[in-house]
Structure 1
Amino acid sequence: MRLGTAFLRQTAIELRASYWFIPAALVLCAIALSFALGWVDRHPWVTSFLPDGFFSAKPEDARATLGVIASASIGVAGVMFSITIVAVTFASGQHGPRLIGNFMRDRGAQWSLGILMATFVFALMVLRAVEGAGPGANSHAYVPQVSLWTALILSLMSVGTTIYFIHHVPDTIDIANLIAALGRQLCLRVRQPDLVVPEAARGLRPEREQPVWEVKAGKPGYVRAVDPDGMAEIAVRESLRITLLAPPGSFVSSAEAAFRVEGGPPADEIAAALRKTIAIGEGKTVEQNTLFLVEQLVEMAARALSPGVNDPFTAVYCMNWLHAALIARLEAGEEEPEKAEMEEEEEPGLVVLPRLSWRELLEQSLGACLPYARPDPLAGAALRKLLGRLHGHAAGPDKAAVSRLLKRLEAPQEGDRT
């Protein structure tokens, strides 16, 4: 039985969001490389193809060189970690705490720290293998020459990594680059649904319409990952219609329903299997949750328009990218009114998954920015212009939704933020 994919997906999300995984992997690779090159150094025939005198370091020189490499790399790694913490603190305080995950997932910072830590560990592993000549006649000095040259190469890589990192950090926290990175990711994500019903569950119906019962989430938290294939396997095997009530990004308590099941009597085994198809954690993630990207851009726009910050141009940047995502969704051709009506009339298959509509995306993005942008002349004028351009691209019910937002912008409603 194919279950547990949601747990594996959540594990992959946590590893990707962790700051330690890539550095730890590079450190392990450095240890393995030191043993492999140690074997090479113990077999002189491997280096016989190189010119004479290419490897000529003495034990005391090797120790001094490796000691400098190790101390310098660990010192720079500490400074690099401090710079990262300062950048994360600044960005989260200025633009929103939900952006911390973006910095934690930053591959440039992870690889930079990993290369420096790997250089430090490799230098230490090679340093322990250097042997000086003893007082005895049978004692000989030993210097792992290939490993020493490899440590020198890694030190040069560390210098380049440091230069890259010093450029990368201010480039990452630049507000325009930060917004553009979120916006580009959002434009890609809106072109396809977060959850897709597996082919095996389409076009089928349960043998019986009744009874109908619900499966509770089992523990509180945010739904972080969903396994549609696992749901389809259960639905087809048991001839049930399973409706997901808690999509990724939603918060559920232990007593709230996460699934609705039609076509069979309640069974603890089915309920337990269904709970394994969702992963519940402490916070939201961008995996299978396009709205989380929208929320980050809206939060940045709202903070920029707060009296304490008063930065309408940052809010305009955010709204421009939200507008670009809405246009990208329209260009994907998934919100044609005729097609949407046909899909609503069709009988659902054995698995029913929530789908983010264009009108919901509009309301959660530019609609959420409206009460913050309306009091500000610059942001309000920019939002009015964006909605006007969007009105020309939309059609049918989508155009009507844009028109309603324009009316709200022109005529403030009671309850909106002022």
Structure 2
Amino acid sequence: MNARIKAWLEILGDLFWLRPALVVLGCILLAQFGVWLETAHIAGFDASSPDTNWGYSGGAEGARALLSAIASSNIGVAGTTFSITIAALTLASGQMGPRLLRNFIRDARNQTVLGIFLGAFAYSLMVLRTVRTVEESPFVPHLAITGALVLALVAIGTLVWFVHHIATSINIETVVDAVQRDLCKAIANHTCDEAGPTRPTEAPSGCATAATGGGYVQAMDTDALADWADENRVMVTLRVRPGDYVPSGYPMAFLSARAEGAEGAILDAVTLGRRPAALQDLEFSIRQLVEIAVRALSPGINDPFTAGSVVDHLGDALCRIAPRHLPTGVVLREGRAVLVHPVTDYDGLCDAMFHMIRQNAAGSVYVLGRMLDVLTRVAEVERFEDRATELSRHADLVIAAARRDVADPSDLADLEDRHRRFRRTAPVAVA
């Protein structure tokens, strides 16, 4: 599937109103279908007959009162659920960071709950408009009214479930675990079983192609761009990757030679947007986890346990990466490099995971100790020498921060012991 279409589909997931609108539309069509069944008498079926009517069996006045009650109560509960959702978003924004709001807005369960209440309201109104009394040529759609009763019962169960869901979804461990699952999916999608082609060492040169407008790189269709480069016998060197912000007029790529339609091909392959997207950005979920940890370490919250939990989840991500290879950003056609683009390397991943947490955990013995423990565990499963060297660099930075900021001698001695334990483990990974 084209990368631009995938980015567009991901943007649709961020629209909080889309699923409720689809549910409301479905309920309106269901109401029309129920009324039509009442009048069609398919195979001689008559919903108003005492022999076949197992649902609503009252008259027009009772039907109007019942549908009015269902409609008014559901629109009231819909307002309540919307208020609860806003309160949850406010709490998440204050304690976990505004970037985590995307996870709550994209939650299909929250969207579906709102759609059920609004759909029951719309269903009741559509059926209510067809009820006519004796003075108006009497008509009571018994089957459709029975459907409204069923929707009302579904809405009651949905309300109970929604309260439970909101109470659990704002739990910090639940949020961390949800972001961790996104990170695991990104690792599975953006890492390889085998090592990729070696990147060229020479600096990119040639004619530059500029962007016509600024924005965040949300997705790149590297296959399409590589096919275009192969057809025109040029090599394209991109200078941006998903997650980067491209200023207006910034040259996004270098071409080894001039080619007709180069700017259009590059702009078609690179999707820009107003905000970063998780579609192809391996560091997107990492930044969300790090933001949770940094906010937990702020003086206003002072929650080192949450920061420690985030470090544990980041260590799990590195252990998942250990047996796999990161892409090199080189695309070949017939054995020739036609496209080179920036990618996230192992050093960049570790920097994104640990730098900000270490900088904000200065003096927190618990978090610094947890970082050393996690680095030790990752080093035990890591099998590449260059990666073990990078882990060692971060362990040295952690112990340097401890020597600078930890005043208690016993606490510092404990951290030194954990660092020595890492040193004893790291050579095993390097071997």
* Shorter-chain TM-score tier: 0.7 to 0.9
Kindly indicate whether residue 77 of structure 2 is the aligned counterpart of residue 76 of structure 1.
Answer: yes
2:181 aligned residue: 184
Cα distance in 2 between the residues matched to 1:256 and 1:347: 31
1:18 aligned residue: 15
Distance change (3 Å), C-alpha of 1:211 and 1:184 = closer
Contact 1:62-1:130 within 8 A present in 2 as well: yes
Kindly indicate whether residue 232 of structure 2 is the aligned counterpart of residue 238 of structure 1.
Answer: yes
- Kindly indicate whether structure 1 or structure 2 has the higher relative contact order, using CA contacts under 8 Å at least 6 residues apart: 1
Contact 1:231-1:277 within 8 A present in 2 as well: yes
Of the candidates 286, 311, 315, which is equivalent to residue 323 of structure 1? 315
Of the candidates 275, 285, 293, which is equivalent to residue 285 of structure 2? 293
Cα distance in 2 between the residues matched to 1:343 and 1:405: 31
Cα distance in 2 between the residues matched to 1:46 and 1:229: 57
1:106-154 Cα distance to aligned partner (Å, 9 max, x none): 11100100111111111100100111112xxxx6410111111111111
Q: TM-score, normalised by structure 2?
A: 0.84
Structure 2: gaps spanning 5 or more residues:
406-431
- Shift of the alpha carbon at 1:249? 0.6
1:382 aligned residue: 370
Distance change (3 Å), C-alpha of 1:43 and 1:343 = closer
Distance change (3 Å), C-alpha of 1:328 and 1:283 = same
Cα distance in 2 between the residues matched to 1:348 and 1:49: 73
Q: TM-score, normalised by structure 1?
A: 0.86
SS in 2 for 1:400: helix
Cα distance in 2 between the residues matched to 1:248 and 1:195: 18
Distance change (3 Å), C-alpha of 1:408 and 1:302 = same
Contact 2:294-2:356 within 8 A present in 1 as well: no
The worse-fitting range, judged by mean Cα deviation, of 95-104 and 26-35 is 26-35
1:369 aligned residue: 357
- Shift of the alpha carbon at 1:414? 12
- Shift of the alpha carbon at 1:415? 12
Cα distance in 2 between the residues matched to 1:187 and 1:293: 9
Count of residues in Structure 1 that have an aligned counterpart in Structure 2:
394
2:344 aligned residue: 356
Kindly indicate whether residue 108 of structure 2 is the aligned counterpart of residue 114 of structure 1.
Answer: no
Contact 1:195-1:228 within 8 A present in 2 as well: no
Contact 1:215-1:258 within 8 A present in 2 as well: yes
Question: Alignment RMSD, CA only?
Answer: 3.1
The worse-fitting range, judged by mean Cα deviation, of 291-300 and 389-398 is 389-398
1:236-258 Cα distance to aligned partner (Å, 9 max, x none): 33222222221111001112122
Of the candidates 45, 48, 52, which is equivalent to residue 42 of structure 2? 45
- Shift of the alpha carbon at 1:286? 1.3
Distance change (3 Å), C-alpha of 1:233 and 1:132 = farther
Kindly indicate whether residue 395 of structure 2 is the aligned counterpart of residue 406 of structure 1.
Answer: yes
Of the candidates 137, 149, 166, which is equivalent to residue 169 of structure 1? 166
Structure 1: gaps spanning 5 or more residues:
none
Kindly indicate whether residue 258 of structure 2 is the aligned counterpart of residue 265 of structure 1.
Answer: yes
- Please identify runs of 4+ aligned residues in structure 1 that moved more than 4 A: 413-416
Cα distance in 1 between the residues matched to 2:154 and 2:58: 21
Identity rate of aligned residues, in percent? 31
- Shift of the alpha carbon at 1:194? 7.4
Counterpart amino acid of residue 270 in structure 2: I
- Shift of the alpha carbon at 1:348? 5.9
Contact 1:218-1:255 within 8 A present in 2 as well: yes
